[in-house]
Amino acid sequence: MRYKTGYSCKLEYDNVKNKIWNAAVIGLGKIGMTYDFDIKRTHPSSHVLAYNDNENVNLVTAMDVENGKKEMLKKLSPTTSFYTSIENALKNKNIDIVSICTPQQYHLKNIIEVLEYSNPKIIFCEKPLVKNTNEISLLKNIVDNKKCIIIPNISRRWLAELQKVTQYIAQGEYGSLEKISIRYTRGIFNTGTHLFDLLKMWTGNNIEKVRVLKKVSTSSEDEGEQSFSFFFEQKNGVYGYAEAIDDREYYLFDIDLFFSQGKIEMRNSGNDIYCYSVGKHSLFSGYRGFKRDKHISGILSDSSMKKAVDNIIDVLEKRAFPVCTMRDAFYPIYVAETLLKSYKTGKEERVDYYE
Ligand SMILES: NC(=O)c1ccc[n+]([C@@H]2O[C@H](COP(=O)([O-])OP(=O)(O)OC[C@H]3O[C@@H](n4cnc5c(N)ncnc54)[C@H](O)[C@@H]3O)[C@@H](O)[C@H]2O)c1
């Protein structure tokens, strides 16, 4: 009886722990592979290098529709076989983990193909998980009958320093949250996934209503992305404003959380968190102002990709639950779709999302 005693459980755990897990990567673009050719990025930044660097993983196979990716793959992971079809990449290879790193419009199709040609234990799929709420329903039906776990890569979820903000808010360190102010680039699905997920993770609350105020250009319009400045309100009455900026001017992802007794700022695309408490104004008598009392820096120098792969191994070896779930990935798609609706109607719209 394998699980009868604690001792047997430990044996089972130790056996699994030494296993090498076979991985595959579908889509060898920026997040799939080429980010790790950028010397400015923290490594590993791509799925290929994160698997290649992990001693518990053998990156057996990778595929891209562009044959030109073969030579780059050879440089980063010389022993990995390259294919231009998912069927050839996966069939009869006994793959445990498949990463999907293709553009968003292919994710559902690729998940279906992966499940047709292989039997992985985990699919690690880039965000946004699928392209709309219809596809969410289709995906739920597909995975309900399978044993495969889908782990979406909402990458900031793996950064423990960003999760500290959740504790500060829950413990009321700066009083009650009142307003949220955001500046962002690259659209409601692309950056929107990170944005809506971060706000939910930090505040424990969903956005309930949105109203688009202005459409703003973005370089990712060709990929079907849209960017809007918009007003939003959470279930608890906390409200905020998101200012969209064209990423061709500059890349930006800043968040300010205003509390009754302080402020928390996310700056440098999430690399720095500054916390302020309220005290006497430093310049004007009779007024109150902010005094900085914490600075968490270098948050993005931690490789979220390495942490994600570590978490995947822990899930496979039954030491942990996924840090990011399908459910986490569904909610931002509902918010983005409601923004599209508000843009069309010109009105405030309610986010039709239920846990
Ligand atoms: N988690 C994050 O922080 C993060 C960061 C960047 C990108 N992403 C997401 O990753 C996905 C890919 O983005 P990217 O910037 O790497 O895109 P990209 O365009 O750089 O790369 C996509 C790759 O997929 C290949 N491809 C296209 N169709 C394919 C198909 N049907 N089968 C196999 N390969 C195919 C292309 O040839 C290309 O090499 C997007 O969903 C994006 O939102 C997430």
Q: Is the peptide bond before 332 cis (omega within 30 degrees of 0)?
A: no
Cβ–Cβ < 8 Å for 300, 42 = yes
Task: Give me the number of domains the chain comprises.
Answer: 2
Of 139, 57, 135, 340, residue with least CA distance to 225: 340
Determine if ligand 1 sits within 6 Å of the CB of residue 99: no
| Burial (CB count within 10 angstroms: exposed 0-12, middle 13-18, buried 19+), residue 341 | middle
Interval 295-321 mean pLDDT: 96
Q: Write the residue with the smallest CA distance to atom 6 of ligand 1.
A: 31
Number of H helices, E strands in the chain: 10, 15
Pocket test for ligand 1, best of 41, 48, 102 (most atoms within 8 A of CB): 102
Residue 12: pLDDT band with limits 50, 70, 90 = very low
Interval 190-202 mean pLDDT: 97
For residue 50, the enclosing domain spans 6-156+306-324
Task: Identify whether 314 is part of a domain.
Answer: yes
Same domain? 123 vs 145: yes
The pLDDT score that the predictor gives to residue 89 is 98
The pLDDT score that the predictor gives to residue 17 is 62
Of 230, 148, 224, residue with least CA distance to 184: 230
The SS3 call for residue 265 is strand
Interval 77-104 mean pLDDT: 97
Of 20, 76, 79, 75, residue with least CA distance to 49: 76
The pLDDT score that the predictor gives to residue 32 is 98
- What is the domain-level CATH number for residue 43? 3.40.50.720
d(CA 13, CA 7) in angstroms, rounded, equals 10
Phi, psi of 67 (to 5 degrees): -65, -25
CA of 64 to the centre of ligand 1 (A): 10
Distances (CA, A) of 24 to 27, 48, 303: 10, 9, 20
Cβ–Cβ < 8 Å for 186, 218 = yes
Task: Identify whether 111 is part of a domain.
Answer: yes
d(CA 244, CA 215) in angstroms, rounded, equals 8
Task: Identify whether 355 is part of a domain.
Answer: no
CA of 226 to the centre of ligand 1 (A): 17
Same domain? 262 vs 120: no
d(CA 32, CA 9) in angstroms, rounded, equals 36
The pLDDT score that the predictor gives to residue 223 is 83
CA of 224 to the centre of ligand 1 (A): 14
Same domain? 33 vs 64: yes
Same domain? 41 vs 105: yes
The pLDDT score that the predictor gives to residue 144 is 82
Chain centroid to CA 142: how far? 22
Q: Write the residue with the smallest CA distance to atom 3 of ligand 1.
A: 155
Residue 8: pLDDT band with limits 50, 70, 90 = very low
Q: What tokens were used for 89?
A: 């990449």
Interval 13-34 mean pLDDT: 86
The pLDDT score that the predictor gives to residue 22 is 98
Same domain? 164 vs 108: no
pLDDT at 2 over 50: no
Same domain? 320 vs 341: no
d(CA 17, CA 10) in angstroms, rounded, equals 10
pLDDT at 10 over 50: no
